[in-house]
Amino acid sequence: MTKGAKFAVGLISGVFGGFFGGLLGLGGGVIMIPLMTWLAKITQHQAHGTSLVAIVFTAIAGAATYYALGGVDWKIALILAVSATITARFGARYAHSLPEKKLKMAFGFFLIFASTMLVVKGYLPKTTWALGQWTSIVVFLVIGFVTGFVSGMMGVGGGGVMVPLMVVVGNVGQHMAQGTSLLAMIPASISGASTHYKLGNVKLDIAWGLAIGSLVGAFFGAKTANQLPDFHLKIVFAAIGAWMGIKYIRAGK
């Protein structure tokens, strides 16, 4: 495959990933990774590492949008980023250590989890207790610790894990949690992507097209989101995601 063809594959995968991410509030990685392995025929490890490069750019754009709307808590984002940035590199190294089939299986389970959260995240119970300052710091450090590892391992932004934990455990509103998680995942995604790059799991000739496409797709996805029935779209997409997850798990076996 020529460099131009690889860039085109990245562009197409990024547009679809960004579009559905913007449309449904879903991380683009769960869409871009299957598309890259299917269209570009790259390994699962390379798809995870390459996806993280694009997520750096989409996280920047998303965090800037939420910040303009007052949906970012800088203090919480900083705490989350401290631990997530450290564990993202360990997640990337762990993914690299896994055989292809086992990584496919792990990604399949993550797809099922992400598909489930897509439907239920708007109905998550909100805590009413007030966290003390030090308790709050420990809680968000732990959330960042878990999310960073998942992000580095799965090649995703990690919002599907971080946001529910922030809402349920950290007593953060849904909108604020989404914007804050995007900001926190910028350095974490950079950490994971750079580790994958050092391990040879980033295809730069695909990554740049992926980054550009995801930014364009996310813009149009967000624009379209207000014009289509949100809940029914999530149900359909969650069903497709769960089906894909099962296929990945079977492929891993």
Of 158, 138, 156, 133, the closest CA to residue 146 belongs to 158
Q: Are 242 and 112 in contact (CB under 8 A)?
A: yes
Q: Are 209 and 14 in contact (CB under 8 A)?
A: yes
Neighbours of 8 (CB within 10 A): 17
Neighbours of 249 (CB within 10 A): 17
Per the listing, tokens 């391992």 go with 153
The DSSP line for 20-88 is HHHHHT--THHHHHHHHHHHT---HHHHHHHHHHHHHHHHHHHHHHHHHTT---HHHHHHHHHHHHHHH
pLDDT of the chain along its 253 residues, tens only? 787 888 898 999 989 888 877 776 666 788 899 999 988 889 999 999 999 998 888 888 888 888 887 888 999 999 999 999 999 999 999 999 999 999 999 999 999 998 888 788 767 676 666 667 888 899 999 999 999 999 999 998 887 888 888 888 888 887 788 888 889 999 999 999 999 999 999 999 999 999 999 888 887 876 776 676 667 777 888 888 889 999 999 987 7
The tokens for 121 are: 């995240």
The tokens for 100 are: 């292809």
